[in-house]
């Protein structure tokens, strides 16, 4: 009985830990978003244009679509 409770607890902990861990891809996305935000806060439009993909489109509250050809300032 104690063994089955221990195994169930261990299984629960393993599943819980795995569901809250972040994948390498998610960590990379968070790193890139942080870098993007820093460049945006600094007003470094030249660097932003270097990392802005041609397929990237931004929708904002004014419903204006921005793409690689849109002015950033």
Domain ranges of the chain: 1-42, 44-73
Per-residue model confidence (pLDDT) at position 17: 60
Per-residue model confidence (pLDDT) at position 21: 61
> Cβ distance 39 to 48 under 8 Å?
yes
Per-residue model confidence (pLDDT) at position 7: 73
Residues (pLDDT < 70) of the chain are 1-2, 10, 12-21, 56-61, 63-68, 71-73
Sequence-distant (≥ 6) Cβ neighbours of residue 48 within 8 angstroms: 36, 39, 40, 72
Per-residue model confidence (pLDDT) at position 45: 86
Per-residue model confidence (pLDDT) at position 38: 93
Per-residue model confidence (pLDDT) at position 34: 92
């Amino acid at each position: 009985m104690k063994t089955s409770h221990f195994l169930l607890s261990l299984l629960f902990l393993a599943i819980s830990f795995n569901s809250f861990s972040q994948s390498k891809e998610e960590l990379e996305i968070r790193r890139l978003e942080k870098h993007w935000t820093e460049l945006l806060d600094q007003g470094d439009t030249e660097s932003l244009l270097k990392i802005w993909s041609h397929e990237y489109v931004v929708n904002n509250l004014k419903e204006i679509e921005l793409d690689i050809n849109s002015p950033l300032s």
